[in-house]
Amino acid sequence: MKYPTIIDSQQLFREPDHPLKAGLDPKCRSTKPLCPDTFAKVMKTIDTFIFDADGVLWLGESVMPGSPRLIDYLVKHNKQIIVLTNNATKSRAVYAKKLAKLGYNSSKMNKNNLVNPAAVVADTLHRAGLDGKRVYLIGEQGLRDEMDELGIEYFGHGPEKKQDEADGSGAFMYDIKLEENVGAVVVGYEKHFDYIKMMKASNYLREEGVLFVATNEDETCPGPNPEVVIPDAGPIVAAIKCASGRDPLTVGKPCTPAFNYIKRKWNINPSRTMMIGDRTNTDVKFGRDHGMKTLLVLSGCHQIEDIIENQMNERDDMVPDYVAPCLGALVPERI
């Protein structure tokens, strides 16, 4: 049966035909449902909570009901809170303003507690040392803001100039202008991505010494209308991987650069850290791959059926330790 996205946890988990109690292979990794009472017990074993954002803390421009109360609950119990989003279109400062506008605790949910691929990309390039070389950038304002903060020079963002295709010959492809002194190609979501950008990126990457860095490889991102597919950075990165024949260093979840960034900055103990998100292939896998506890909330992309499919396909790295309808379903009536 199809389970609703946001409903009372007691209603969801009392149903006798709940898929997680439907006789799965006992050798499969088990996922435990959480309610306020059980979450309170689990919380005692966790020092740091890492939250995905879209589909968990907010959906589009709207706050996820109940999520601010859970944050307040964790703050009251002196838990460390980190927000880790795979969205690089905006900077950490912009996301901090959004969280404050949506009613989140600004003392614990600010720029200093936020991580996104834009910040990790900028940090990666800064640590690599480009020796004065520039970055060819396919990406939105968030990447530019974070690279500006670290003094990294870039070009290529925004719409390409229209090529003269009046004769229909496609001759522009044989006379494409490439810049010199390029040290890296950075690829993320960009609404102006087109064939010319793909061609330029692929040609810059012919040079072995040019770094290829990607923000994330999410196929889609959640939105308020579940009937509309919203492509994320993944399809853009895939196009350039295919054309260039090179694999990028991807910094977003579930990849290790984001984990290393967090470990350096907060010195977390993975065994006492919980990753909470709405996707099994990014959030849950990120947590599992790096030794953290994991919680899937059903308020965004992936649902119970996705957990079952991962179990059946023996993808333990995408099976969460815990599941809940949404963050609000974990908060006791009185906090």
The predicted model gives 307-312 an average pLDDT of 94
Mean pLDDT of 292-315: 94
Report angle CA 1, 301, 76 to the nearest 5 degrees: 105
Taking each helix axis as running N to C, give the angle between helix 256-266 and helix 117-128, from 0 to 180 degrees, rounded to the nearest 10: 80
- For the beta sheet containing 182-187, the strands, ordered from the edge strand earlier in sequence to the opposite edge, are 154-155, 134-138, 182-187, 211-214, 249-250
Domains and CATH numbers, the chain: 9-86+254-329 (3.40.50.1000), 123-159+179-250 (3.40.50.1000)
Which residue out of 25, 37, 47, 52 is catalytically annotated?
52
Going by C-alpha positions, the residue among 150, 144, 83, 148 that lies closest to residue 123 is 150
Phi, psi of 225 (to 5 degrees): -110, 105
What tokens were used for 141? 């304002």
Strands 58-59 and 48-51: unpaired
For residues 307 and 278, is the Cβ–Cβ distance under 8 A?
A: no
Which residues contact residue 178 at a Cβ distance below 8 angstroms, ignoring those fewer than 6 apart?
200, 203, 204
Residue 75: its H or E element? helix 67-76
Q: Is the pLDDT of residue 6 over 70?
A: no
Q: What is the pLDDT of residue 333?
A: 86
Average pLDDT, the chain: 89
CB 124, CB 257: distance < 8 Å: yes
- What's the confidence (pLDDT) of residue 184? 98
CB-CB contact of 139 with 187 (8 Å): yes
Sign (positive/negative) of CA torsion 112, 116, 120, 126? negative
Question: 10 Å Cβ neighbour count for 162?
Answer: 8
Is 283 a known ligand-binding residue? Answer: no
Q: What's the pTM?
A: 0.87
- Comparing 35-44, 138-147, 158-167, 290-299, the range with the smallest average pLDDT is 158-167
Is there a binding annotation on residue 72?
no
DSSP-derived secondary structure for 225-252: -TTS--B-HHHHHHHHHHHH----EE-S
> Active site includes 52?
yes
Q: How many CA atoms lie within 13 A of 165 on its CB side?
A: 7
Nearest-angstrom CA–CA distance, 28 and 33? 16
Catalytic residue among 25, 37, 47, 54: 54
Which strand (E) or helix (H) includes residue 310? helix 304-312
Angle (CA) 182-188-191 rounded to 5° is 110
| DSSP assignments along 235-299, one per residue | HHHHHHHHHH----EE-STTSHHHHHHHHHHH---GGGEEEEES-IIIIIHHHHHTT-EEEEETT
Distance CA 124, CA 129 (A): 9
Higher-confidence residue: 164 or 83? 83
Is 177 annotated in some ligand binding site?
no
Q: Exposure of 141 by Cβ count < 10 A (0-12 exposed, 13-18 middle, 19+ buried)?
A: middle
Residue range 116-120: average pLDDT?
Answer: 98
Cβ–Cβ under 8 Å, residues 133 and 182: yes
Pair 183, 147: CB distance under 8 Å: no
Query: Which of 42-46, 157-161, 324-328 is predicted with the least confidence, judged by mean pLDDT?
Result: 157-161
Structure confidence at residue 335 (pLDDT): 72
What is the pLDDT at residue 280? 96
- The first and second tokens of residue 294, run together, are 């994991």
Beta strand spans in 92-177 (E): 114-115, 134-138, 154-155
Known catalytic membership, residue 47: no
Is residue 167 annotated as involved in ligand binding? Answer: no
How does pLDDT run across 189-202, given as a tens digit for each residue?
Answer: 999 999 999 999 99
Give per-residue pLDDT as tens, 66-104.
999 999 999 999 999 999 999 999 999 999 999 999 999
